[in-house]
Amino acid sequence: MPAFVVKPDELTALNYLPADHPHPRQVSWINRATDQELKPSTVDMLLRTLFLDIASPSVVRLHRSAGLRASFWNERDRDRFAKVFATAREQVASTERYLVTAVFDGREEAELAVGELKAAGVPERSIALLWRANQFIDTEVEWPEGHSKLSVFGATAGGGVAGAILGIAILAVPGVGPIAAAGSIVASAFASVAAASGALGATGGAIARMLTDHDVDGVSAAYYQQQIQRGKIFVSVDTRIAEGQHDTARQIMRQFGGRGARGA
């Protein structure tokens, strides 16, 4: 059967294919050099490490040699798929050129990075933050009459990362709990959670949904969702607004410990 092979670092483009693209008859993970299918244990290793910053030589070799082989009914479908996939790759490249994203291990690092971004002239409206609300507001305690967890959190967060940018939203994400969103992601966050709440139930997929609505590609969004659920803080800069500051934003994020979905 005619086949088309997608490299691991090209997987993101699959999220940008049109709905009517030719669908393969079969898909399988292969070693591109030998055209042999990978063992299930090898595929498991590949998928678990695909978007992690792991320097193991064996994992690096696996990433470089693996491929997702899509087999089609005929050459016409294969060639049509190759054409729309090339367009999808261009879309990914365009997105990656304007959106700088990273996760930070803790609140202090994220605060310092956002502060430095603003000091470097990066407009506030180009910056977005997303993080899991701290355990303080998850704790079941009695509150004085007229107060709630969210109102107390809002009052005490002004000096921290939540106060770094105006426009803070606290969202109840299915299967995850309270999520705080700030900056340019807020507008899409409400719609994303509302849509995901009905469609996804308690799966927690609403975080990835709001990130993809924020123009983070689908594969990276899945990685960032995992990190946010583990307590990391997501920060992004939209360089369509912060024109000419892509490299500055990336350098500042790296300087303060920010890591991208692919370890960048």
Per-residue pLDDT of the chain (264 residues; tens, 9 = 90+): 899 999 988 887 887 888 899 999 999 999 999 999 999 999 988 887 776 656 688 988 998 999 999 999 999 999 999 999 999 998 877 777 788 999 999 888 998 999 999 999 999 899 999 988 764 444 454 545 554 545 544 444 444 554 555 567 777 776 777 888 888 888 777 777 666 555 444 455 778 888 888 888 777 888 888 888 888 999 999 999 999 999 999 999 999 999 987 655
| Identity of the amino acid at 202 | A
> Do 88 and 104 share a structural domain?
no
SS3 29: strand
> Do 114 and 88 share a structural domain?
no
> Do 237 and 205 share a structural domain?
yes
> Do 156 and 37 share a structural domain?
no
* CA dist., res. 260 & res. 50, Å (int): 13
Domain span at 35 = 3-97
Domain boundary among 97, 122, 141: 97
> Do 69 and 179 share a structural domain?
no
Distances (CA, A) of 75 to 25, 27, 31, 48: 12, 16, 22, 33
The total of structural domains in the chain comes to 2
Q: What is the DSSP letter of 74?
A: S
> Do 103 and 83 share a structural domain?
no
> Do 230 and 112 share a structural domain?
yes
> Do 134 and 235 share a structural domain?
yes
> Do 68 and 124 share a structural domain?
no
Q: From the CB of residue 163, how many other CB atoms can be counted at a distance below 10 Å?
A: 14
Domain boundary among 97, 126, 149: 97
Residue 262 lies in a domain: no
**Cα radius of gyration rounded to whole Å, the chain:** 21
> Do 123 and 89 share a structural domain?
no
Residue 109 lies in a domain: yes
Residue 85 lies in a domain: yes
> Do 227 and 104 share a structural domain?
yes
Residue holding tokens 């994203």? 101
* CA dist., res. 188 & res. 214, Å (int): 7
> Do 234 and 167 share a structural domain?
yes
